[in-house]
């Protein structure tokens, strides 16, 4: 792992905190203590948890410091405080929570300014930065779930993005041996990405772009939520229990057309933007309707990362990003909440993979068919609750979304959610059967 200087660590820590604060500072107190829901966290608890996590690893674990709040573990330890109990805690007020956040960040930065660089310490500072980035993304979809205004961080509408339109068709991917997972030169990798290992993949065809709203509407209008034959047994049970009859944020207009709820407003469907806020079960059912299938995470990473040699086989070069070695920027991928929502699937042509797939990083997360499971020789990292408790009953998503931080995402990054989740900024692309 390439370590950062103290100044670089501090810059990232403060940048993550500015982003998190910008996602809650415009909200009234009532929006931070929301009615109980089985999906999102109470925002007041979530921001306190972020500060607690930073304090746990950068001050208490690394420096042996005592907590700045003696009740912090009782409130904010996500491994011990069950989701359903977070609404019933005697949490500090908004002002007290923000003061705790400030105190923890200031203490962390002061320690960094006074201590020499240490590679092990570097790991924990990156861990808390990326953890905060993930919770910032969660607050974006929390605002969508609760019908709150779009984040003010997104100063521009996604309708302003250049290019656009559809991006149809498949690319052919040859079979061969591929190194799945992060390699040891990756500056930082989570335990579930470690380490790359040889896997054999058969030839396949994968869509050049994610499924669009227009394409998914064809499934809905064909009776997709009423016709049992397109659903697996588990998917049909989910649909029946949930009462789903359309994607979560879709509504019928008075003339029979579809509208989409976008934060606190309603808009007409954007036909060439990717479908978003669909569960894994809905993605699976659409694939059955369309005569397609979801890619495995191996196939997804091959399509995003592989390069082809002069003999038409996988070369030894594996790209960390679809477009190559350069880190993401605003010309290559739709990340960092630069705009207020997903863009057309035809946008960001400069970010295509070597095999010709578009938007494999950014815009919307993509469900895969794969269960979330450890790679061979998995070793749990110090933050043992990150991956291991979720193996077996979660599905893997890849690629990031428009609210994902660019410093966080790469081709090997594995996200994971239970297949019933629809609040996440997730869509999917398909493969030929």
375 found inside a domain: yes
* Tally of domains within the chain: 2
CATH number, domain of 94, equals 1.20.120
Contact 396, 421 (CB under 8 A): no
Q: Of 145, 178, 198, which closes a domain?
A: 145
Do 124 and 169 belong to one domain?
no
Q: What is the dihedral of CA 235, 236, 242, 244, to 10 degrees?
A: 100
40 lies in the same domain as 161: no
CA distance 282 to 279: 5
Q: What is the pTM of this model?
A: 0.96
Backbone φ and ψ for 3, nearest 5 degrees, come out as: -80, 160
If you ran DSSP here, which 8-state letter would residue 228 be given? G
**Domain check: are 189 and 102 in the same one?**
no
Backbone region of residue 356 per phi and psi (left: phi > 0; alpha: psi in -120 to 50; beta: other values): left
In the DSSP assignment, the letter for residue 97 is H
State the pLDDT at residue 77. Answer: 97
Instruction: Kindly state whether residue 406 falls inside one of the protein's structural domains.
Output: yes
DSSP string of 128-191? HHHHHHHHHHHHHHHHHHTTPPPPTT--B-GGG-SS-S----EEEE--EEEEES--TTSS---G
DSSP assignments along 318-359, one per residue: E-SBTTBSSPP-TTT---TT-BSS---TT--GGG--TTS---
Apex 255 CA angle, 250 and 257, nearest 5:
35
The pLDDT assigned to 62 comes to: 83
Contact 295, 170 (CB under 8 A): no
Q: 372 and 290 in one domain?
A: yes
Same domain? 140 vs 160:
no
Residues 299 and 421 in one domain: yes
CATH for 325: 3.90.1580.10
431 and 358 within one domain:
yes
Q: How far apart are CA 192 and CA 397, in angstroms?
A: 13
Domain range for residue 103? 6-145
Q: Both 140 and 276 in a single domain?
A: no
184 shares a domain with 90: no
347 with 281, same domain?
A: yes
In the listed set 145, 168, 194, which residue is the last one of a domain according to the structure? 145
User: What burial letters (b/e) apply to 195-210, b meaning 16+ CB within 10 Å?
Assistant: bbeebebeebbbbbbb
For residues 141 and 164, state if they share a domain: no
Instruction: Quick: pLDDT tens for 368-389.
Output: 999 999 999 999 999 999 999 9
Please provide the distance, in angstroms rounded to a whole number, between the alpha carbons at the two ends of the chain.
39
Domain's final residue, options 110, 145, 180: 145
- Would residue 1 count as lying in a domain? no
Same domain, 167 and 141: no
- One digit per residue, the tens of pLDDT, for the chain of length 433 reads 567 888 999 999 999 999 999 999 999 999 998 878 768 899 999 999 999 999 999 999 988 889 999 999 999 999 999 999 999 999 999 999 999 999 999 999 999 988 755 566 889 999 999 999 999 999 999 999 999 999 998 767 777 776 789 999 999 999 999 999 999 999 899 999 999 999 999 999 999 999 999 999 999 999 999 999 999 999 999 999 999 999 999 999 999 999 999 999 999 999 999 999 999 999 999 999 999 999 999 999 999 999 999 998 999 899 999 999 999 999 999 999 999 899 999 999 999 999 999 999 999 999 999 999 999 999 999 999 999 999 999 999 999 999 999 999 999 999 999 999 999 999 999 999 9
């Amino acid at each position: 792992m390439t370590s950062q200087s103290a100044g670089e660590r501090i810059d990232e820590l403060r940048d993550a905190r500015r982003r998190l604060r910008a996602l809650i500072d415009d909200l009234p107190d009532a929006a931070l203590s929301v009615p109980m829901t089985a999906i999102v966290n109470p925002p007041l608890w979530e921001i306190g948890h972020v500060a607690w996590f930073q304090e746990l690893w950068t001050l208490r674990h690394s420096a042996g410091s005592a907590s700045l709040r003696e009740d912090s573990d009782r409130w904010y330890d996500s491994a011990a405080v069950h989701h359903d109990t977070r609404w019933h805690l005697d949490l500090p007020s908004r002002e007290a929570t923000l003061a705790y956040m400030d105190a923890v960040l200031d203490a962390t930065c002061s320690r960094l300014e006074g201590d020499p660089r240490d590679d092990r310490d570097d790991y924990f500072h990156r861990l808390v930065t990326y953890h905060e980035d993930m919770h910032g993304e969660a607050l974006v979809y929390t605002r969508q779930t609760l019908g709150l205004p779009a984040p003010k961080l997104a100063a521009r509408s996604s309708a302003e993005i250049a290019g656009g339109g559809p991006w149809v068709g498949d690319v052919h991917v040859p079979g061969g041996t591929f190194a799945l997972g992060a390699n040891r030169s990756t500056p930082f990798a989570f335990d579930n990405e470690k380490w790359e290992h040889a896997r054999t993949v058969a030839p396949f065809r994968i869509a050049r772009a994610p499924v669009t709203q227009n394409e998914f509407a064809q499934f809905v209008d064909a009776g997709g939520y009423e016709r049992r034959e397109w659903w697996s047994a588990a998917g049909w049970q989910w649909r029946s229990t949930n009462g789903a009859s359309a994607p979560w944020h879709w509504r019928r207009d008075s003339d029979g057309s579809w509208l989409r709820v976008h934060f606190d407003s309603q808009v007409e469907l954007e036909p060439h933007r990717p479908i978003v806020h669909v569960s894994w079960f809905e993605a699976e059912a659409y694939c059955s309707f369309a005569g397609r299938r979801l890619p495995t995470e191996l196939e997804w990473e091959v399509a995003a990362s592989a390069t082809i040699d002069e003999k038409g086989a996988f070369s030894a070069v594996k790209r960390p990003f679809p477009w190559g070695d350069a880190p993401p920027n605003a010309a290559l991928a739709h990340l960092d909440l630069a705009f207020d929502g997903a863009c057309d699937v035809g946008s960001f042509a400069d970010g295509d993979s070597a095999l010709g797939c578009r938007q494999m990083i950014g815009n919307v997360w993509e469900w895969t068919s794969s269960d979330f499971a450890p790679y061979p020789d998995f070793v749990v990292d110090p933050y043992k609750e990150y991956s291991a408790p979720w193996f077996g009953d979660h599905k893997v998503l890849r690629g990031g979304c428009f609210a994902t931080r660019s410093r966080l995402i790469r081709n090997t990054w594995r996200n994971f959610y239970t297949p019933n989740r629809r609040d996440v900024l997730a869509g999917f692309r398909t493969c030929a059967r």
